[in-house]
Amino acid sequence: MPLIKDGAFVEDAWTYADEEGPLPEGPVIVSLTRWQNEKEALAARTAPLGIKLLSGEEPKEIAGDLDKFAVIALDFPMFKNGRAYSYARLLRERYGYKGELRATGDVLRDQLFFMHRCGFDAYEVSQRITIDGWKEAMDEISVVYQPASDGRKTIFQARHGD
Amino acid sequence: MYRYDEFDHALVQDRVKQFSGQVQRRLTGEITEDEFKPLRLMNGVYLQLHAYMLRVAVPYGTLSSRQMRMLAHIARKYDKGYGHFTTRQNIQYNWPALKDIPAILEDLASVEMHALQTSGNCIRNVTSDQYAGVAANEVEDPRIWSEIIRQWSTLHPEFSFLPRKFKFAVTGAPEDRAAIRVHDIGIELVKGEDGQTAFDIYVGGGQGRTPMIGKLIGKAISQENLLTYLEAIMRVYNMHGRRDHLFKSRIKILVHTIGEEEMRRQVEEEFAAMQKDGPVELPKAEIERIQAYFAAPAYETLENDPDELNAAFEKTPAFARWVKQNVAAHKVPGYAIANISLKPVGGVAGDASAEQMEKVAELADAYSFSEIRVTHEQNLVLADVPQKDLFALWQELDANGLGTPNLGLITDQIVCPGLDYCNLANARSIPIGQAIAKKFEDLDRQNDIGELKIKISGCINACGHHHVGHIGILGVDKKGTEFYQVSLGGSADEKTSLGDITGPAFTEDKIVGAVENIVETYLSERQNGERFLDTYRRIGMKPFKEKLYAAH
C-alpha cells in the first residue's frame, strides 16, 4: 500500500506481523492481542516495534506502553467508521504519544484533511492519489473552527487575537 | 441575525470550491457514483426516486429577506419554481440537475448560506425555537447558542464520520417549540446558580424506528464548559455507538443499552479528562460578539391592542379568525408574532412557490425587520410585526395563498414527502394529508375541534414525526398495498410523549374515516373545552379503540 508521510510518498520500512509464528526481521507492527500476549519478548527485540489498533481497541489499552512503539497504526475498516479519529486525538492529546500515527484501511482522499487534524501523520492510501491530490486535500479548507491535535489556530482564536 | 465575517465566508467559499471539484470529477467519470456518494452526502445532495435532491441549511430556521429572495431565485432558475420547507427548518429542492449544483452553492454562498452537513453521518443543522428572541419568558435567545454550536460542529475533524446522523435542537423558553426531547441532543437554556445562562442537556431522544425520549444527562452546564461537555458526549458516542447495525447506531440506542446513569458517568469521566487535555475554549469575547448579532431590533414604542386592529376585527371576520389562530403574543408591547401557514387545503405541507417566497421577503421588509423564521412544523413566521400593521399584512398574505388560518388545527399537519419523492418511503403521505385536510376543510369545524396535531410519515424513519403527533399516521407496505397505522397521544412539547398504536392499520380508503371517527370520539368525550391531547391523556386508548374498531 502506498504510504504518504510528511507530505511525500515514502518507502514503507514496516511489516505487519501475523497473529502468531516467528516475527519477520526488522521493524514490525503487531496486533494488540499479540502485544498483550508477548509483551516481554516483543519489548526485548532490538528492531523498532509498532502496534495496530482495530476499531473497538481503545488507546487506553496501551496508554502505559506508548514508549515501546515507534508506530501506532489505527484501522479504518470502512471510511464511514470514524472511531479512529477519536483514538488519534486521545493518543496525541491525552496520552502524549509523539511517534508516527498511521491511518490504515479504507483511507480515502477526502478524509485526509480530517485525519491530519486529528493527529495522523502517515497514511496508507487505498485510493489512487497523487502528491498534488494530497496537497490539495490539506489546503482546500483554509480556516478551522475547532481546536484539534494539529494545533492549528482556530477561528475563535483568530477573531480574538490569541 | 448573525452575519458572516471573513472567516465564515472563507470556509463556505472553500467548501463550494471543493465540492465543485468533486462534482466535476463525477461528471467527467473520474469517480464512480459509489465513490461520489459519500462526497455528495457531505453536501446535502441526495439521489431520490426521480432526481437529485438538494437540501439547503437554514441555521436554526432564521432567514433574512435577502436570503429568502435567493431561495426563490434558485427555485425558479434551477428547479420547478418551488421549494419544500422541512421539519429540520431547512429547504429542499427536488429537481436540480447535478451539473447546476455548484452554481446553486455559489448563489447560496453569496447570501451566507450553504448545504453543509445537511446529510451524512455528521452533526446536522442545529434547530431552534421559531419564537426565539420574542417569547416573553425565555432565558436568552437560543439562536446565540445555536450559532456557537453551528460553528463548532462545522467540519468537525473528529465527528464527521459518526455511527449515524446527529441532530441538535436548542430552546430558550420553558415551552418547548423545538421538540428538544426527541433529538440526539436537546438543549434547554436555564438560569445557573450565578444567574448566568446555563444549559440542561438531554441526550438520546429520537424518533425513527425506535422512538425514545431524551434523558437529562448534563444539568446546568456553564457557558465556559458547554463545548467541552458536548465534545465529551460526542466522543463517548463516536467511540461506543454501534456501527454494526444501521438501525441500532443512533445515540438513543447507546443511552438505552448502557442506561442513563452509565451514560452520565462516561460523559463526566470524559469531560473531566478533556478539561486536563485542553478544553474547547469559548472566549467570552466570542459569546459577546455573537450575542450582539441577536440584539433586539429597534422596536418602536407602541401600545397593545391599537384601535385600528380592533376596527379591522369588526369589519373583517376572516381577519379576526386569522389573528386568533395564527398570531401569538410578543414580549414587546404593540408587537405580535405572525405565523404564515404553508398548509392550505389541497396544498403540499411545507411547499412554497418562488412567488410566495418573494412575497414573504417583501412583507418581512415592510413589517418585520427583514427577518423570517422557518418552523419545524413546516410553516413560516414573521416574528416582529407591529399589531397596527397586522391587517395590511394579512391582506397581502391572504391574496397570495398564505393566509390560511389553521395554525395548530387539524389541517396544520406535518407530512413527509413520502413515496411521491422519497426512495425510503413505503407509502404515500402527501395524498393522505390532503384527503384529511379536505375532509376537515370547514374552518368552523376545525375551530370547534381545536388544537390537534396530525403528523404523517411514509415509513418507519418517521421524518413526518408521527410518534409525537396527537394523532400519528405511519404508512406501511403490506404485500404491495399501502396501509396506515394510527397512534394517539404523542406530543413533542415540554411534556413529550410517544403515541400509542390504536390497533390494526387502515387501508388508504379507510384512513380518513378512521381519523374522523377518532375526532368524533374526542368531541363526545371532551370536558371543559380541553384539547384532544388532554382528553386522550385523561381517558386513555380504550374509548377511542372501541369506537374505531366497532364495525370490524
**Are residue B386 and residue B487 in the same domain, yes or no?**
no
Within-domain flag for B122: no
Distance CA(B111)–CA(A127), nearest Å, equals: 36
Beta bridge partners of B12: none
**Do B418 and B383 form a contact (C-beta atoms < 8 A)?**
no
Stretch B372-390: mean pLDDT:
97
**pLDDT(A6) > 90:** no
List all residues 6 or more positions away from B118 whose beta carbon is below 8 Å from its beta carbon.
B43, B44, B55, B56, B57, B88, B90, B124, B125
Within-domain flag for B128: no
Lowest mean pLDDT among B22-31, B99-108, B479-488: B22-31
Within-domain flag for B409: no
Last residue of a domain, one of B293, B319, B347: B293
**Are residue B37 and residue B179 in the same domain, yes or no?**
no
Give A162's pLDDT tier (boundaries 50, 70, 90): low
A83, A97, A109, best to mutate vs chain B, most B CBs in 10 Å:
A83
Last residue of a domain, one of B337, B371, B399: B399
pLDDT for the residue A1: 83
Domains of chain A from N-terminus onward: 3-159 (3.20.20)
Cell numbers representing residue B220 in the block = 446546568
pLDDT for the residue B551: 66
**Are residue B177 and residue B273 in the same domain, yes or no?**
yes
Lowest mean pLDDT among A38-47, B324-333, B539-548: A38-47
**pLDDT(B51) > 90:** no
Chain A environment of B152 (Cβ under 8 Å):
145-146
Domain count, chain B: 4
Stretch B144-159: mean pLDDT:
98
Q: CB-side exposure of A107: number of CA atoms within 13 Å? A: 28
Give the structural domain span for B161: 134-293
Q: How many CB pairs under 8 A join A and B?
A: 107
Nearest to B155 among A86, A141, A162 (CB): A141
Chain A, 90 to 109: residues with Cβ < 8 Å from chain B are 93-94, 108
Whole-number percent of chain A with pLDDT over 90: 85
Query: HEC string of A45-91?
Result: CCCCEEEEECCCCCHHHHHHHHHHCCEEEEEECCCCCCHHHHHHHHH
Within-domain flag for B121: no
Distance CA(A34)–CA(A37), nearest Å, equals: 5
Residue B151: closest C-alpha in chain A: A145
**Are residue B138 and residue B253 in the same domain, yes or no?**
yes
Give A133's pLDDT tier (boundaries 50, 70, 90): confident
* CB contact (8 A) between residue B10 and residue A80: no
Cell numbers representing residue A28 in the block = 514490525
**pLDDT(B38) > 90:** no
| DSSP track, B371-386 | EEEE-TTS-EEEEEEE
Higher pLDDT, B52 or A34: A34
Q: CB-side exposure of B540: number of CA atoms within 13 Å? A: 1
**Are residue B429 and residue B493 in the same domain, yes or no?**
yes
Chain A environment of B235 (Cβ under 8 Å):
86
Q: State which H helix or E strand residue B489 sits in.
A: none
pLDDT for the residue B50: 76
A156 at interface of B, judged by CB pairs closer than 8 A: yes
Nearest to B160 among A81, A82, A83 (CB): A82
pLDDT for the residue B285: 96
**pLDDT(B264) > 90:** yes
Stretch B525-544: mean pLDDT:
97
* CB contact (8 A) between residue A146 and residue B280: yes
Give B48's pLDDT tier (boundaries 50, 70, 90): confident
A80 at interface of B, judged by CB pairs closer than 8 A: yes
Stretch B138-162: mean pLDDT:
97
| Average pLDDT across chain B, whole number | 96
pLDDT for the residue B552: 55
Cell numbers representing residue B21 in the block = 471539484
Nearest to A85 among B158, B243, B273 (CB): B158
Stretch B306-327: mean pLDDT:
96
Give B273's pLDDT tier (boundaries 50, 70, 90): very high
Over the stretch B411-467, which tens digit does the pLDDT of each residue have?
Answer: 999 999 999 888 899 999 999 999 999 999 999 999 999 999 999 999 999 999 999
Looking at CA atoms only, how far is residue A89 from chain B in angstroms?
A: 8
Stretch B256-283: mean pLDDT:
97
> Chain B residues with CB-CB distance to A under 8 A?
5, 7-8, 10-11, 14-15, 17-18, 21-22, 38-39, 42, 121, 151-152, 154-162, 235, 238-239, 243, 273, 276-278, 280-283, 285-286, 289
Q: What is the CATH number of the domain that holds B499?
A: 3.30.413.10
**Are residue B279 and residue B362 in the same domain, yes or no?**
no
* CB contact (8 A) between residue A143 and residue B281: no
* CB contact (8 A) between residue B277 and residue A86: no
> B436-451: buried (b, 16+ CB within 10 Å) or exposed (e) per residue?
bbebbeebeebeebbb
A58 at interface of B, judged by CB pairs closer than 8 A: yes
**pLDDT(A137) > 60:** yes
Within-domain flag for B474: yes
Residue A152: closest C-alpha in chain B: B157
What is the ipTM score, two decimals?
Answer: 0.97
**Are residue B440 and residue B477 in the same domain, yes or no?**
yes
**pLDDT(B60) > 90:** yes
pLDDT for the residue A54: 98
